[in-house]
Copies of this chain bind each other. A is one copy, B any other.
Amino acid sequence: MRIQIFCSTFAALIWSIMAKTEISTLGEFGLIRHLTAELPVLQASTQKGVGDDAAVMNFGNKRVLMTTDLLLEGVHFNLEYVPLKHLGYKAAVVNFSDIYAMNGTPTQITVSLGVSARFGVEDLEELYAGIRLACEHYGVDIVGGDTSASMTGLTISITCLGVAAEKDIVYRNGAKEHDLICVSGNLGTAYMGLQLLERERLAYSGQTGQAEEVIPAFEGREYLLERQLKPEARRDIIELLRKSGIKPTAMMDISDGLSSEILHICHQSNCGCAIYEDKLPIDYQAAVVAEEMNLNIVTCALNGGEDYELLFTCDIKDYEKLIPLDDIYIIGHITKPEAGTVLVTRGGGEMALQAQGWQAF
């Protein structure tokens, strides 16, 4: 008995020397799939669990949506160039974006913070001011949370509830052959904003040879910084589609890059896709900065991530309704699964789309 308890309670002492499989061998999505494989459904109110932008619950008349995001200092943000107020704003907005991506309306959030000793009350006020600003802007209530000391750095975990009528909810699995593939806004811009900030941080900290360039060259590039530091969720697009009588067949928001996201839709809808390189909406400033930095802007647009634009598919019969809509771009169409998931290049060639996404591991 003694030995058994010893072993079980002190197992942790030796766990670190046990054989282990590196998490990177599965990747982020692989890991989540692995850990959540064959989850049972025990509650009648659970309508959709893991695997979309948000979970869907049936508690009564409307459906309740739920999504969560965890942001860790040094992984998801760098406080050397992200002001705390912006960080708070963004941390809230990325959750709202997930609810809009279900064609729902965000309603409440809880905010959990882990805070190390180097942060003072004023810092948390700044962070909270950003969260509150986002909530005010999107009409969302802060209804709870948890605040704790942390040994290292800042941890932000936000969970968001939303509502939608059953008939309005758009999942990732509804795309079908001949559907149009659309995106809002432009792609790769937030990524170029990050590159700018990162370059200036290195210059500022003297880690490049260009000491004379210490003053950041941000003039005329404010939009790129804004896309990175203070992204917005596309509530306007959701409202525009509704007003235009268009219900997407599948939808998600673009947090990990277009390639990664369209593959999610194709996988869950069991279909293929053709995306046209020359249809990708790219911001002029982003293209100029990419050129300056010797980056391929198409690669950035496909894999950049953090744009929080909406990616959706529509029935071909909605084509006429889509055309006049501002800031929505048709970039391709859904194909049979056996046609694969391809990018049609400017030259007319085909390349398989790859989910580089955003590798958190």
Contacts and interface: CB of A to CB of B under 8 A. Distances in A.
B43 A149 contact: no
Q: Which of A1, A70, A197 has the most CB of B within 10 A?
A: A70
A59 interface: yes
A288 interface: no
Contacts of A36: 128, 142, 145
Interface stretch (A74-82, A179-187, A231-239, A320-328): A74-82
A121 B68 contact: no
A195 interface: no
Given A57-B143, A68-B145, A16 B118 contact: yes
Chief secondary structure at chain A's binding surface: mixed
Contacts of A110: 55, 66-68, 159
Q: Which of A22, A39, A159, A200 has the most CB of B within 10 A?
A: A159
Copies, count: 2
Given A225-B9, A360-B149, A141 B204 contact: no
Interface residues of A, number: 112
12 contacts: A2-B218, A5-B222, A10-B204, A12-B81, A13-B204, A35-B125, A43-B107, A43-B139, A66-B159, A67-B110, A68-B145, A157-B159
